[in-house]
């Protein structure tokens, strides 16, 4: 729809010179590529901005939780701090260790951030606001989140450093373990929604009774498991064993400096935002309003605010991101064996049981979702 | 005019052949494993062209996302001596040649034979709302339910066998029982001792009693 309008604008512009037919005939075939690139930029640019300001919010929230002020020197309330940090990292010298495998050392940060951004292709932000409405969207998401591990393993190995390698090994074992719990938690969502398409999953949560129709109510244990597994997948506190600074210096990115380190940082935060978006879509109703459709007034301003829309999606994502920061401020780091025990002996059996429970529940008349 | 699909197909085909060759020619085993990942990716691309998106995504999810991670895990920790690996090359060479000839013969028989001659025919494209995943699921759980269950049981046996083969109970191994740790009461750990202070103590004894108290 917007695409057609933009094309019309171009047509009007070139028709001023009477060249539209020639221009469209010659360059028309690249238009789908250009339009897809434009859409990618429209998605990636806000994510990058979100990542930058998530670091600021994290430092502010942690600061207030620990009775400090957090960053407050650069700009009003320290609002320019992320820009200053980015500039600092850009200016820093990139050091490549002599004993490292140079090609893989440079490739690793790219492999870390690429899947974190690629996964956004199928994430719907509002009705009709999605880059690719794929039927197997949920599988695609699982695949992309499981690929992020390559950046970490390759970084750890190519650095040729003991700390980096230990961090990489820890992270690989952790991510492979928690992926299972994550996958099974999503199986219950799949059962409830009867679709792998993320748009259909959100629409399946619109039952006419608002907030009560969302899947976090029947699937509450899975909501918790998915969130915990998401925290573990993104290597965030209290599961940040991969960069356990008191034991293995900085883990897998010990040897990275400047932009190499910045890319790992961006990847981690982009993954956090992704997990927040997915939690909102799978369990918290995506862009749906918590009010039942019938209660929403038709007045123009209020109706838009209380009705379904991208602002609800962003609000839910912010809430989940706040949970991430809250966890980090509250809990001490897990010990490695405790982490593995939680993953294999608590979360996975719980998800397996709940898959059976939901499947049986859906056969009874008591299933209302 | 060559369609864009043909161009993409040849791109992925060339990439997968290149990656497959590099898997066996790369000197560094970690590089070889990474080339295998690349080969999986290009094959997934070809499967996508064939409208088998479920299989393509599952290939990447299972093989790239899990199997190859564990492969890399092991390969990175190995200390491989290339000279030692090359030692037996000529001794096993004839065996390798026989295997290679057999493989090439089989592939010529399968690909060049009459059985696959019909695949050149145009296969009708499915509509955009056709869900490969749903169709596959329906087939697996109806027409092919028994073979599917059989495969599942085989996998289960493999899992049990892998655990049974590698599990060793060591008597000396130390372990903790978290449920016991959680249930601990302060009375289990702490004993309050009342020390009579009326006794006359010398200077050295005094230090000792202090330690006991604290």
A266 inside 8 A of chain B by CB:
no
Residues in chain B with CB shorter than 8 Å from the CB of A179 are 65-66
What is the Cα–Cα distance from B157 to B149, expressed in whole angstroms?
12
Q: How many helices (H) and strands (E) does chain B have?
A: 11, 0
- Whether a cis peptide bond, with omega within 30° of 0, leads into B108 is no
Q: How many helices (H) and strands (E) does chain A have?
A: 15, 0
Instruction: Using the predicted structure, report yes or no on whether residue B129 has a pLDDT greater than 70.
Output: no
Tens digits of per-residue pLDDT, B81-127? 666 767 777 888 888 899 999 999 988 888 776 655 555 555 566 66
A226, A182 in Cβ contact below 8 A? yes
- Cβ distance of A140 and B72 shorter than 8 Å: no
A140 inside 8 A of chain B by CB:
yes
Tens digits of per-residue pLDDT, A86-99? 888 888 888 888 87
Tens digits of per-residue pLDDT, A254-267? 888 878 888 888 88
Residues, chain A, total?
Answer: 369
* DSSP 8-state code for residue A135: T
Report the predicted TM-score, pTM, of the whole model to 2 decimal places.
0.81
- Please give, one letter per residue, the 3-state secondary structure of B33-94: HHHHHHHHHHHHHHHHHCCCHHHHHHHHHHHHHHHHHHHHHHHHHCCCCHHHHHCCHHHHHH
CA distances from B145 to A57, A352, A362, B27, B135 (A): 52, 21, 22, 44, 14
A146, B66 in Cβ contact below 8 A? yes
CA distance B57 to chain A (A): 6
Query: What residues are paired with A129 via a beta bridge?
Result: A126
What own/partner pairs with CB < 8 Å and gap ≥ 24 does B7-16 have? B8/B45, B8/B49, B9/B46, B9/B49, B12/B42, B12/B43, B12/B45, B12/B46, B12/B49, B13/B42, B13/B46, B15/B42, B15/B45, B16/B42, B16/B43, B16/B46
Tens digits of per-residue pLDDT, A357-368? 988 888 888 777
- Cβ distance of A150 and B69 shorter than 8 Å: yes
> Which residue of B60, B73, B132 is in closest CB contact with A143?
B60
- Cβ distance of B58 and A140 shorter than 8 Å: no
- Closest residue of A to B130, CA-based? A135
A65, A329 in Cβ contact below 8 A? yes
CA distance B87 to chain A (A): 26
- Closest residue of A to B129, CA-based? A135
A214, A156 in Cβ contact below 8 A? no
Contacts of B180 (CB under 8 A, 6+ apart): none
Task: Decide which of A250 and A354 is more confident.
Answer: A354
Residue B61 CB neighbour total at 10 angstroms: 21
- Closest residue of B to A151, CA-based? B69
Residue A352 CB neighbour total at 10 angstroms: 14
- Closest residue of A to B63, CA-based? A143
The torsion defined by the Cα of A119, A125, A128 and A133, in degrees rounded to 10, comes to 20
pLDDT band, very low/low/confident/very high, at B17 (cuts 50, 70, 90): very high
B80 inside 8 A of chain A by CB:
no
Q: If we measure between CA atoms, which residue out of A254, A257, A263 comes closest to residue A92? A: A257
Instruction: Using the predicted structure, report yes or no on whether residue B214 has a pLDDT greater than 50.
Output: no
What is the predicted pLDDT for the residue at B127? Answer: 66
What is the Cα–Cα distance from A164 to A156, expressed in whole angstroms?
5
């Amino acid at each position: 729809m917007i695409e057609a309008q933009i094309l019309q604008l171009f047509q009007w512009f070139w028709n001023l010179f009477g060249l539209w037919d020639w221009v469209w005939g010659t360059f028309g075939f690249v238009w789908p590529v250009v339009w897809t690139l434009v859409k990618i930029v429209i998605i990636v640019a806000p994510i990058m901005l979100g990542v930058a300001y998530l670091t600021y919010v994290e430092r502010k929230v942690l600061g207030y939780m620990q009775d400090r002020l957090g960053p407050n020197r650069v700009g009003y309330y320290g609002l320019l701090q992320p820009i200053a940090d980015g500039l600092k990292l850009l200016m820093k010298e990139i050091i490549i260790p002599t004993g490292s495998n140079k090609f893989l050392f440079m490739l690793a940060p790219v492999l870390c951030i690429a899947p974190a951004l690629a996964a956004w292709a199928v994430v719907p932000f509002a009705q009709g606001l999605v880059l690719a409405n794929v039927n197997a969207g949920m599988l695609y998401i699982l695949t992309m989140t499981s690929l992020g591990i390559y950046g970490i393993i390759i970084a750890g190995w190519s650095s040729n450093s003991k700390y980096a390698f230990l961090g990489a090994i820890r992270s690989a074992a952790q991510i492979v373990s928690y992926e299972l719990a994550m996958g099974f938690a999503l199986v219950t969502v799949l059962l409830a929604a009867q679709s792998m398409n993320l748009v259909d999953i959100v629409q399946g949560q619109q039952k006419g009774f608002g907030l009560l129709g969302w899947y976090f109510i029947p699937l509450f244990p899975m909501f918790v498991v998915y969130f915990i597994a998401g925290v573990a997948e993104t290597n965030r506190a209290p599961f940040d064993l991969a960069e356990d600074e008191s034991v293995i210096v900085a883990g897998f990115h010990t040897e990275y400096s400047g932009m190499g380190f910045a890319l790992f940082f961006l990847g981690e935060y982009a993954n956090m935002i992704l997990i927040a978006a997915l939690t909102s879509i799978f369990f918290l109703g995506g862009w749906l309003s918590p009010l039942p459709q019938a209660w929403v007034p038709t007045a123009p301003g209020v109706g838009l605010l209380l009705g379904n829309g991208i602002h609800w999606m962003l609000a839910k994502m912010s809430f989940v991101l706040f949970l991430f920061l809250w966890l980090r401020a509250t809990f001490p780091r897990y010990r490695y064996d405790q982490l593995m025990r939680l993953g294999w002996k608590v979360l996975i059996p719980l998800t397996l049981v709940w898959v059976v429970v939901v499947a049986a529940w859906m056969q009874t008349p008591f299933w209302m979702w | 005019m060559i369609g864009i699909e043909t161009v993409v197909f040849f791109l992925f085909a060339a990439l997968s052949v290149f990656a497959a060759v590099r898997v066996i020619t790369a000197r560094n085993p970690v590089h070889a494993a990474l080339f295998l990942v690349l080969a999986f990716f290009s094959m997934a691309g070809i499967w996508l062209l064939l409208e088998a998106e479920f299989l393509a995504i599952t290939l990447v999810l299972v093989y790239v996302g899990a199997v190859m991670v564990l492969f890399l895990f092991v390969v990175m920790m190995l200390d491989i001596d290339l000279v030692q690996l090359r030692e037996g090359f000529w001794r096993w060479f004839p065996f390798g040649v026989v295997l290679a000839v057999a493989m090439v013969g089989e592939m010529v028989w399968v690909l060049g034979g009459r059985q696959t001659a019909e695949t050149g025919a145009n296969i009708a494209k499915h509509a955009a709302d056709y869900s490969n995943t749903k169709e596959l699921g329906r087939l697996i759980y109806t027409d092919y339910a028994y073979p599917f269950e059989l495969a599942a049981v085989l996998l289960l046996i493999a899992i049990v066998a892998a655990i049974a083969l590698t599990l060793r109970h060591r008597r000396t191994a130390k372990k903790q029982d978290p449920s016991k740790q959680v249930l601990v009461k302060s009375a289990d750990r702490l004993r309050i001792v009342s020390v009579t202070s009326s006794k006359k103590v010398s200077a050295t004894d005094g230090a000792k009693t202090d330690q006991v108290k604290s």
